[in-house]
């Protein structure tokens, strides 16, 4: 029996070492199932305000073969390092995150071509039966890239280990191209509208609410194509300017963002002005409003609308309407002088 155990012991040791080696090899293969990708983004032509940088950005990698996208949040929107398994991906990068917008929602997140930014606050007025967007979307900038490939040679291209594999293909070394680096340059996807109303009798207006029809309800991030579904955009112009030669006349202008507006189509604008008497409303609609488009070369496309309104009727101003903060002091008691001790 003693000789039998002596003969089997070396065999057991060999089996144990073989199993241990296979386990270690498996851990090594698991460790190198991903590649580290360096992502950089240039936002200089995005048309976004510098404060937008505080919100970071979101990048999505959609597998070409289908399936859920891999989503990465970037605290620093200028770039980061991420890790991806082998495959071919379509990439979408946009400012902020899905939850950082107040007036934009997203749908179709499961697909690269179906991801859509939508107007977040649409109501249907019972008296009008029209779908109205009561708040304009925030600024949105997007960059895309299709067909980015993570190859088998790129796996395990991080860390300091003898098993590290080369990340730069020999044919790319001369030009400095790195297959493990992605550079994107987002461009603004929303459009700025500046609407200006030339008004005779501007002095009779207390407030003005406007509505523009034919505004796109959403935009597809992959293509930048606005949705065919349209809504009415409501906005309140806030900049008043009287003409020097006529103190009663002048302009009111407002600026807001939209997803899209076909410049070749005819559009209509509705206005509803509350006059200074506090009770009279002046309403009009204007057909065939001309829309012109300009590009500042810095990523911002501006659509301009000019409207000449009818004469605003003269009304007797409401008492105290000259101030938005009207205080009646007639009921106050007489002043009481009180000494306040200084400690």
Residues 286 and 196 in one domain: yes
Give the model confidence (pLDDT) of 118-155 as tens digits. 999 899 877 667 899 999 999 999 999 999 999 999 99
Q: Is residue 116 part of a domain?
A: no
Whether 1 shows a pLDDT value over 50: the answer reads no
Q: Is residue 86 part of a domain?
A: yes
Give the model confidence (pLDDT) of 233-286 as tens digits. 999 998 999 999 888 999 999 999 999 986 566 789 999 999 999 999 999 999
Residues 171 and 63 in one domain: yes
Of 39-43, 119-123, 218-222, the poorest mean pLDDT is in 119-123
Q: Is residue 159 part of a domain?
A: yes
Burial of 261 (0-12, 13-18, 19+ CB in 10 A): buried
Closest by CA to 139, choosing from 182, 180, 100, is 100
Given this model, what pLDDT does residue 83 score? 96
Give the model confidence (pLDDT) of 271-311 as tens digits. 999 999 999 999 999 998 988 888 887 778 899 999 999 99
Residues 239 and 97 in one domain: no
Structure tokens at 95: 């400012």
Residues 168 and 204 in one domain: no
Given this model, what pLDDT does residue 217 score? 95
* Total domains in the fold of the chain: 2
Number of neighbouring beta carbons within 10 Å of residue 54: 9
Residues 65 and 93 in one domain: yes
Given this model, what pLDDT does residue 9 score? 63
Give the model confidence (pLDDT) of 155-180 as tens digits. 998 865 433 333 333 333 333 478 99
3-class SS shares of the chain: helix, strand, coil, % to 5: 15, 45, 45
Q: Identify the domain containing residue 254 by its residue range.
A: 191-308
Burial of 338 (0-12, 13-18, 19+ CB in 10 A): exposed
Are 272 and 160 a contacting pair, CB within 8 Å?
A: no
Alpha helices in 137-233 (DSSP H): 170-173
Are 237 and 119 a contacting pair, CB within 8 Å?
A: no
Give the model confidence (pLDDT) of 85-120 as tens digits. 999 999 999 999 999 999 999 999 999 999 999 999
For the domain that residue 217 is a member of, what is the CATH number? Answer: 2.60.40
């Amino acid at each position: 029996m003693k000789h039998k155990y002596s003969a089997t012991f070396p065999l057991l040791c060999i089996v144990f070492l073989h199993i241990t080696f296979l386990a270690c090899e498996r851990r090594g293969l698991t460790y190198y199932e991903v590649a580290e990708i360096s992502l950089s983004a240039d936002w200089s032509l995005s048309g976004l305000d510098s404060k937008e940088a505080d919100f970071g950005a979101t990048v999505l990698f959609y597998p070409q073969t289908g399936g859920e996208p891999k989503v990465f949040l970037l605290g620093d929107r200028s770039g980061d390092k991420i890790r991806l398994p082998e495959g071919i991906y379509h990439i979408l990068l946009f400012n902020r995150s899905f939850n950082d917008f107040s007036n934009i929602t997203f749908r179709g997140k499961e697909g690269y071509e179906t991801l859509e930014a939508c107007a977040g606050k649409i109501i249907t007025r019972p008296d009008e039966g029209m779908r109205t967007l009561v708040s304009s979307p925030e600024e949105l900038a997007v960059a895309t890239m299709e067909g980015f490939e993570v190859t088998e040679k790129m796996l395990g291209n991080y860390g300091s280990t003898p098993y590290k594999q080369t990340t730069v293909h020999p044919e790319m070394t001369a030009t400095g191209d790195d297959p493990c680096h992605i550079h994107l340059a987002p461009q603004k996807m929303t459009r700025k509208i500046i609407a200006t109303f030339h008004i005779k009798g501007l002095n009779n207006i207390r407030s003005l609410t406007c509505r523009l029809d034919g505004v796109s309800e959403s935009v597809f991030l992959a293509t930048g194509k606005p949705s065919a579904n349209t809504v009415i955009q409501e906005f309140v112009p806030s900049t008043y300017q009287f003409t020097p030669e006529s103190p009663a006349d002048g302009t009111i202008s407002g600026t807001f963002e939209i997803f899209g507006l076909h410049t070749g189509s005819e559009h209509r604008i509705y206005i509803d002005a509350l006059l200074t008497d506090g009770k009279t409303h002046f309403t009009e609609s204007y057909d065939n409003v001309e829309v012109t488009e300009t590009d500042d070369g810095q990523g911002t496309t501006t659509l301009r609308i000019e409207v000449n309104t009818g004469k605003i009727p003269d009304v007797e101003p409401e008492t105290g309407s000259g101030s938005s903060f009207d205080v009646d002091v007639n009921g106050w008691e007489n002043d009481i002088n009180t000494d306040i001790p200084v400690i």
